[in-house]
Chain A
């Protein structure tokens, strides 16, 4: 393996930690991911850069990586004993559980309450987690001690390459905005995300594991897909309030419009899909001397072998009327991106890849839509904000939720769909010069498939 390839894990870790936890603020998580109108939504709708922050508040806190606490406080996921020797983790009496570690590590900004655990496989008769592998001449079956097939899918994020996303870079880890006056603004950002990793049996292998039967002249393989990217971006935008518009029955509507251009310089990129498998012969048997079949390609960019460059245009409008706010943002209305790097290709004939300089580029109209609306409901005690959003990026998502505030306290709830059903519950406290927000999170446990609950926490400081 050459030196540049050794840098890839670094890119992956950076993208993983950047991409899996920070895409949404904790306040938003408490409402199932709902994004309320306001300047903090300017990334999704540039017109919000001219919208006041007062009506719906903001998600200004920075998330605390309390997943670290979960990792270290729980013996099942704490890898530190390995510093005194790997056997401290692997000896029979060690509580270390790779599945728990994996689940907590991949959710760095959440303290998982019930992380995935191999204890689900404990056979009461032996007291040990047990996995059964039944092998005969026609196939292999992998089950738990009760004979139930084990789900062999692992995934993090959604692998997306430049070919489908064009110049739509991942949401920034942070943005530093500057007002230039005259409704112009500039922002610098660092992005590291777009992280996706999928590992799954191919259809043939999935079928074989289910039935225990192999077919002749068939390739049984594991598929691996991955993507990640990182870089810096510069945005230049213009947003302004337009003349009020009288609307019959609604009264006067306030209108805002904005546009934003973003250029990025890409530091690292990874896009790969491949498989490793074995082929049966005409009798449906494996030849023990047959080498594995490798297929697929990995394209990667790191500073020593290439770079990325791209530009895109975003537009948005916001209307406020009768106490309600409605906004529509379109990102990547037109985008261009190009990455240069190295491509490794396996053609099924050898385990050694063919390496060549290569590039990935795209140009076109691949918009990401974001529509949101909110209003404040007057209450005798406290105040209530309710809202909803609907968007499309690589898939549809939508949320409804609300926030009730009473003095310095905030309580939030929401429902939504975003790669599955989402429930949001959250709370916050606004103190003098600081805010604390917390939210309940949920995700699907790897391998086991049950719902895992977690707690996210953010702290905002203002002086």
Chain B
């Protein structure tokens, strides 16, 4: 995908002025097979990372180092369902890491968290959680810089205390806006 995007980008330069913006939308959810979009959370306390069975997160391939990026947005929507017999509560955050960091959950090697919040789901019910982050030079700049660096990893970490539940990813999108001519500034 990355090279296809790259050649398409080069191709489009001919239709470009100094003010032209590329609005690149990545449907991250589509890179996760349908059968793997739901995670079962066992009873007890602890933290789970999703997706990525070995803490590596999901690799998002970007065509090039996107120094041209001006701003962006990350949107993750998931559904937490309490299948246990006690309140399903905890906190969650988005994890980002560079391609080289294969553990996105250890604050080592470049990974970091953002968009942290908490939740509480009564027995037998579901709650939709949303992480909607604006990326710019003044908001979540570290995340914008991460995406500018090229291919990166992304995951959602959920710290829970429960007697059983599920986490289902409903949406996962990253949209970035860049000015191609900025590449030669």
Contacts and interface: CB of A to CB of B under 8 A. Distances in A.
A138 interface: yes
A92 B179 contact: yes
B21 A276 contact: no
Nearest to B9: A133
Nearest to A276: B7
A435 B29 CA distance: 68
Given A95-B18, A152-B8, 9 more contacts: A90-B182, A94-B18, A129-B16, A129-B20, A131-B12, A136-B27, A136-B31, A278-B4, A447-B15
A132 B12 CA distance: 11
A102 interface: yes
Dominant secondary structure at the A interface: mixed
20 contacts: A76-B17, A89-B181, A90-B181, A92-B182, A95-B18, A99-B14, A118-B15, A118-B19, A128-B19, A130-B20, A131-B16, A131-B22, A136-B26, A137-B1, A137-B31, A140-B1, A142-B8, A288-B61, A290-B3, A446-B14
A152 B27 contact: no
Contacts, number: 138
Interface string A145-172: 1000010101000000000000000000
A135 B60 CA distance: 11
B16 to A, nearest CB: 5
A121 interface: yes
B23 interface: yes
Interface string A86-110: 1101111111111110100000000
A292 interface: yes
Given A86-B184, A286-B3, A134 B27 contact: yes
Interface string B148-183: 000100000000000000000000000000010111
A131 B23 contact: yes
B182 A135 contact: no
Contact of A132 (B18, B19, B25): B25
Contacts of A134: 25, 27
Contact of B21 (A99, A126, A138, A205): A126
Contacts of B4: 140, 205, 220, 278, 286
A94 B18 CA distance: 6
A285 B30 CA distance: 12
A415 interface: no
A222 interface: yes
Interface of A: 76, 86-87, 89-100, 102, 117-119, 121, 126, 128-138, 140, 142, 145, 150, 152, 154, 199, 205, 209, 220, 222, 276-278, 285-286, 288, 290, 292, 446-447
Nearest to B15: A447
A292 B6 CA distance: 11
Given A90-B182, A134-B25, A286-B4, A128 B30 contact: no
A186 to B, nearest CB: 45
A121 B20 contact: yes
B98 to A, nearest CB: 15
A290 B17 CA distance: 32
Contact of B23 (A76, A133, A136, A138): A133
B185 A152 contact: no
B47 interface: no
A99 B15 contact: yes
A154 B25 CA distance: 25
A429 to B, nearest CB: 38
B103 to A, nearest CB: 20
A404 to B, nearest CB: 41
A102 B17 CA distance: 11
Nearest to A131: B22
Contact of B20 (A95, A118, A138, A285): A118
B70 to A, nearest CB: 9
